[in-house]
Structure 1
Amino acid sequence: MLITQKAKIIFLSFALSSSAVFSQAHNVSEGYQKPTDPLVVQNLEEWQDLKFGLFMHWGTYSQWGIVESWSLCPEDESWTQRKPEHGVSYNEYVKNYEKLQTTFNPVQFNPQKWADAAKKAGMKYVVFTTKHHDGFAMFDTKQSDYKITSSKTPFSGNPKADVTKEIFNTFRKEGFKIGAYFSKPDWHSDDYWWSYFPPKDRNVNYDPKKYPEKWNSFKQFTFNQLNEITSNYGKIDILWLDGGWVRPFHTIDPKVEWQRTIKMEQDIDMDKIGTMARKNQPGIIIVDRTVPGKWENYVTPEQAVPEHTLSIPWESCITMGDSFSYVPNDNYKSSQKIIETLIKIISRGGNYLMNIAPGPNGDYDAVVYERLNEISEWMNKNQSSVFATRSVAPYHEGNIYYTQSKDGNTVNVFHLNEDSEYHAPAEINFSLPENFNPKSLTILGISSKIQWKKNNNIIKVKFPESRKNLKYATVIQIQQ
């Protein structure tokens, strides 16, 4: 992930002013360019209908139960701390980290189990980390031997060794859109962190203008790997590029704290990469995250939700636990909190990309399946209020949130109770969207007729006794 100074492992509470956090994590107010390619526009519209996606950070680092990649970075941050048992000196630590390749053997890997659970919970697309900043490829790249399919990796002898291929094929078969996460920086590559110099921070450790041949070699390496991913892995709908410090120097926003640390030109030639990706995958959505322009087709707040609706396509990537990578005994959010987060996001026009990290054995923790099953029970009753909807004013009033159908004939009113276990009220009042004339009203999950009346622009609803069976959040669906 793209790390801000604030939050890597700690979830940013919605009780905080998320707009301040959001603007630091991702400046979205300037530079967005709406795609003009009709296939991209269509794909983006379809993607906005999906609302709920699965993110997976997985790599050799899961064996140590640590933050993905970042302990290799020589920046003194609390979330990049190295454990002494993994190496006393920095060089020893790096050597031991890279040796994790020789013990990575996730024999319980079963992508069908993941796809079944995610599909049941209402997830409609998946984004998988084909390569994180540490440079370990979870796909069969021909550009490096630092990969899961290398003979150095025990799992290479497994028929499912190319886990990216297995995940994409399995989820695609189940109707998911497919997203490939890829890190533009590569801390294993001698063309990015050149061994002639020690790494100083997350950035390239030499001046690309002073050593253009070195940088051109890295550009070609990156191009080749992305060409492999977009050529050899079936239909891919989203190319999700992380590591926003690899960018043209003129795109740096000095108002964003982490971008002020970028001292050198790191232009990776996104025009060449994007053109190639669109040739291989017509209509592919490209997310060059945090780099405004034609290759950032939607924006990606991390561990935060904007306070207000945005006029451009966006997606919040938020962990189910506290960490993006696998941590033993992680603190997984409750199903109620996950559903509340989903409602807040879709009411503001966004998508929710929820991260679940597989462990070193190749499976999720048991509690993950419990959460997904609980979410599925709510989603079965309420999915018509979630998918293929858009935001509608007044968006949010107190504990009331709104979405509407794309044709504008249905308004969905969500009632939350964030302070405790959810209990539906006996009665509720709420505003109607402007110029909406209700003809019928139902409470999803309740079959009996509902008492309601309209007074000016206010709807008053009386709940039946069966409201006690409602869990997590109530959806009132109104037709005109």
Structure 2
Amino acid sequence: MSEMNRNDEQQQVVEQGIHNYSSEDKWVKPADPLLLERLEWFKDQKLGLMMHWGPYSQLGVVESWALVDEDEEWSRNEIDWDVDAEELKRQYFGLNKTFNPLRFQPELWADLAAENGFKYLNFTTKHHDGFCMWDTRTTDYRITAPDCPFHTHKYADICKQLFDAFRARGLAISAYFSKADWHTPYYWAPDMERGTFTARGPSYDPQQYPELWEKFVQFTHEQIMELMTNYGRIDVLWLDAGWVNDYRSQNIRLGEVVEKARKIQPWLLSADRTVGGPYENLITPEQTLPERALHVPWESCITMGSAFSFRYEDNYKSVRQLIHLLIEIVAKGGNLALNVAPQPDGRLSRTAIDRMKGMGEWLKIYGEGIYGTRTCEPYSSGRCHFTKKDGTIYAFYLYRDEHEAVSEELHLPVQQPFSRIDLVGGPDELPFRHTEDGIAVRLPEQEWTAPAPIAHVFRMK
């Protein structure tokens, strides 16, 4: 395949670092009953904690992408010091020599997540830059290498420490892994076809250099199997870099390694993002959510701040905005993987902690309408969103801010006949009446004379 065609295909997968997502018709239902059972389990979880973390956090710039000359127009808009492209790459790849997150306390992260309603961790074991956050034998570009100052720390194997801490608190593990690797010479090979110019794909045509490409395939398989063998139970293998896939020139024989991993972990779900086919068990919108309900397993990865990587000054979404996102995603059948970027010193920012606790406070009261639910028509309609569980329908009526006026009577556009409606977190058996296009529920006086809540949540039977 020509370089131009390969680049055109890659552009369709990711633009300005944001991946598109597969359509429902590309989803393939697994034949294995255990995997079908695990997909139902996944759909129950609703809220995951995603974390992009690596040496790049020291600079507070985009993860990995500034390395790519092809994407310099957008990926280097934060590079505000006087440096040319080649020096920037040297500086970036040298960040491992100063990465020393001495204030990393995995137990605190796990406690924070577990206490505030998060059900699983999605952690970047390796982003496209190739830096490994586990004790791999495949490369010295890793957190435990002698030239990384953190290698002597008791928590040096970051993946092990995080996975163990989160599992100990009952949370599941989703292991993010980039299929591309811009550090290994098996992918970006020095002095090959492109010279020093870097693009998302390999620096050579795999069909012209099959022996070199096979080294990359074996390198990738070995890394995946290390994670699947040495790091305890993994519930999801979450695969990024959709331009690397078995249907184009970059065939890494993914099915081969996933099936090998499932001999060890037969429950393993795989998310081969944007690729479709039998190994994209989950569809993964990024920084967006579908306009309509999807009736296949899916998960939106959305940032709490403005970016996946840590920023020294960032604009965080409010608790109200985050809960509204979660409600709409769940009403449309998905999970929210909320990305919280750790600081380079190993802590989470005070603002991120505050937001997580705020979400937890809300979920402790209203989580019954979130966890373990399924979609319910009309799904999402204006400010109203619906879920169902065990014969009960939950209706969420959202308010943009606390100053918004609250009506004495709220209209819910749902047609089913109900005999009882309760206000979750409030009085039971509210007065209501059926209308031509739904139900009108009367709120108790203390609700329409108080500041507008994040949402009014109704339990309807």
Please report the TM-score for the alignment, with normalisation by the length of structure 2: 0.92
Aligned-partner residue type, residue 266 of structure 1: Q
CA distance in 2 between partners of 1:181 and 1:421 (Å): 40
Q: Compute the displacement of 1:107 (Å).
A: 0.8
Q: Compute the displacement of 1:471 (Å).
A: 2.5
Instruction: For structure 1, list consecutive stretches of 5 or more residues without a partner in the other structure.
Output: 9-23, 251-264
CA distance in 1 between partners of 2:17 and 2:219 (Å): 31
1:103 aligns with 2:87: no
1:378 aligns with 2:376: no
Partner of 2:15: 5
> Are the structure 2 counterparts of residues 184 and 421 from structure 1 closer, same or farther at C-alpha, using a change threshold of 3 Å?
farther
Q: Compute the displacement of 1:77 (Å).
A: 4.3
CA distance in 2 between partners of 1:352 and 1:299 (Å): 12
Q: Which runs of structure 2 are paired with 1:26-425 in the superposition (5 Å)?
A: 26-81=21-76, 88-197=83-192, 198-250=196-248, 265-405=249-389, 407=390, 409-418=391-400, 421=403, 424-425=406-407
> Are the structure 2 counterparts of residues 140 and 424 from structure 1 closer, same or farther at C-alpha, using a change threshold of 3 Å?
farther
> Are the structure 2 counterparts of residues 421 and 248 from structure 1 closer, same or farther at C-alpha, using a change threshold of 3 Å?
farther
Aligned-partner residue type, residue 325 of structure 1: S
Select between 197-206 and 347-356 the one with higher mean Cα deviation: 197-206
Task: Give the match's secondary structure for 1:338.
Answer: helix
Q: Compute the displacement of 1:454 (Å).
A: 2.8
> Are the structure 2 counterparts of residues 133 and 477 from structure 1 closer, same or farther at C-alpha, using a change threshold of 3 Å?
same
Aligned-partner residue type, residue 418 of structure 1: R
CA distance in 1 between partners of 2:443 and 2:61 (Å): 47
Q: Compute the displacement of 1:92 (Å).
A: 1.5
C-alpha contact 1:121 1:372 (8 A) present in aligned 2: yes
Q: Compute the displacement of 1:4 (Å).
A: 3.4
CA distance in 1 between partners of 2:104 and 2:230 (Å): 21
C-alpha contact 1:422 1:471 (8 A) present in aligned 2: no
Summarize deviations over 1:252-276 as a string: whole Å, max 9, x none.
xxxxxxxxxxxxx100101211111
CA distance in 1 between partners of 2:199 and 2:338 (Å): 28
> Are the structure 2 counterparts of residues 286 and 423 from structure 1 closer, same or farther at C-alpha, using a change threshold of 3 Å?
farther
1:471 aligns with 2:453: yes
CA distance in 1 between partners of 2:352 and 2:255 (Å): 39
Q: Compute the displacement of 1:457 (Å).
A: 6.0
Q: Compute the displacement of 1:372 (Å).
A: 1.1
Select between 424-433 and 315-324 the one with higher mean Cα deviation: 424-433
Aligned-partner residue type, residue 207 of structure 1: D
Q: Compute the displacement of 1:453 (Å).
A: 2.6
Aligned-partner residue type, residue 429 of structure 1: H
Q: Compute the displacement of 1:449 (Å).
A: 4.9
CA distance in 2 between partners of 1:273 and 1:151 (Å): 29
> Are the structure 2 counterparts of residues 354 and 421 from structure 1 closer, same or farther at C-alpha, using a change threshold of 3 Å?
farther
Partner of 1:427: 409
Partner of 1:443: 423
C-alpha contact 1:239 1:286 (8 A) present in aligned 2: yes
CA distance in 1 between partners of 2:255 and 2:160 (Å): 26
C-alpha contact 1:422 1:472 (8 A) present in aligned 2: no
Task: Give the match's secondary structure for 2:70.
Answer: coil
Summarize deviations over 1:337-363 as a string: whole Å, max 9, x none.
001111110111111111000010011
C-alpha contact 1:422 1:473 (8 A) present in aligned 2: no
CA distance in 1 between partners of 2:236 and 2:287 (Å): 20
CA distance in 1 between partners of 2:24 and 2:369 (Å): 29
Task: Give the match's secondary structure for 1:130.
Answer: strand
CA distance in 1 between partners of 2:437 and 2:81 (Å): 63
Partner of 2:439: 459
Q: Compute the displacement of 1:122 (Å).
A: 1.1
The number of equivalent residue pairs is 445
C-alpha contact 2:65 2:71 (8 A) present in aligned 1: no
CA distance in 2 between partners of 1:422 and 1:379 (Å): 22
C-alpha contact 1:400 1:413 (8 A) present in aligned 2: yes
Q: Compute the displacement of 1:313 (Å).
A: 1.0
CA distance in 2 between partners of 1:29 and 1:346 (Å): 17
> Are the structure 2 counterparts of residues 412 and 101 from structure 1 closer, same or farther at C-alpha, using a change threshold of 3 Å?
same
Q: Percent identity?
A: 40
Cα RMSD for the two superposed structures: 1.9
Q: Compute the displacement of 1:376 (Å).
A: 1.4
Aligned-partner residue type, residue 220 of structure 1: Q
Q: Compute the displacement of 1:466 (Å).
A: 2.6
> Are the structure 2 counterparts of residues 159 and 29 from structure 1 closer, same or farther at C-alpha, using a change threshold of 3 Å?
same
